Chains A and B, each alone.
Chain A
Amino acid sequence: DAGITQSPRHKVTETGTPVTLRCHQTENHRYMYWYRQDPGHGLRLIHYSYGVKDTDKGEVSDGYSVSRSKTEDFLLTLESATSSQTSVYFCAISESTTGNTGELFFGEGSRLTVL
């Protein structure tokens, strides 16, 4: 199994509070991703990173920010959580973008509930 750890695994918070989710990898992969999973929507990309300090927006980036100060860590921050951000968040990593090493490996997910 790929070495990906997400924390916290479960969190309940209130509307308007800041929340940070952490993804830590031990594989030294260049690419890291944050997805959210919601019923009827599958997985949607929030932000991704293609190197230290190199990040870009995905399909559903509004209300989220990310940072990557080290290869192994990718942080997802909700500056002011809203109920629409209640979801399961998955971190993923990949070694490359093409061919036989282009697949993503996923963490176990972080379930966030915003009351």
Chain B
Amino acid sequence: GNSVTQMEGPVTLSEEAFLTINCTYTATGYPSLFWYVQYPGEGLQLLLKATKADDKGSNKGFEATYRKETTSFHLEKGSVQVSDSAVYFCALRMGGGADGLTFGKGTHLIIQP
């Protein structure tokens, strides 16, 4: 079956540090890939997405590139802020599948001032 693997953390960084959260996937075919963010007490919000190989998704200073050859979709940000503290989920969706997204277990990110 399809699956997503990401580091669970917590990942603790200082403000203005460079962020990488690794995400790799296993899928039979070529999925669409997503990063969602969840702030405390809230639902999940779409952060960025990529629907085909070599696409780069970007939003709010975050970026991720769909790498088919390494089956990866790593999340990066050049300079994190305290307000980026949240849980980040990597997810995939197979085209045409009505059964939604397959999620990784989430990475808890803590940014210290």
Which residues on A are within 8 Å of B, measured CB to CB?
Answer: 31, 33, 35, 40-45, 48, 50, 56, 58, 90, 92, 94, 97-100, 102-109
Contacts and interface: CB of A to CB of B under 8 A. Distances in A.
Nearest to A51: B98
Interface of B: 8, 32, 34, 36, 42-46, 49, 51, 89, 93, 95-101, 103-106
Given A97-B93, A97-B97, A99-B32, A106 B45 contact: yes
B100 A48 contact: yes
A31 B99 CA distance: 9
A98 B98 CA distance: 9
A73 B45 CA distance: 21
Contacts, number: 67
Given A103-B46, A106-B44, A56 B89 contact: no
A64 B58 CA distance: 37
Contact of B106 (A42, A48, A103, A109): A42
Contact of A48 (B45, B99, B103): B99
21 contacts: A31-B100, A35-B100, A40-B8, A41-B105, A42-B103, A42-B105, A43-B89, A43-B101, A56-B98, A58-B99, A90-B43, A97-B93, A97-B97, A98-B96, A102-B51, A102-B93, A104-B100, A106-B43, A106-B44, A108-B42, A109-B42
Given A108-B42, A109-B43, A33 B95 contact: no
B43 A108 contact: yes
Given A42-B106, A43-B89, 16 more contacts: A40-B105, A42-B103, A43-B103, A48-B98, A48-B99, A48-B100, A58-B100, A92-B100, A97-B93, A97-B97, A99-B51, A102-B32, A102-B51, A102-B95, A103-B46, A104-B101
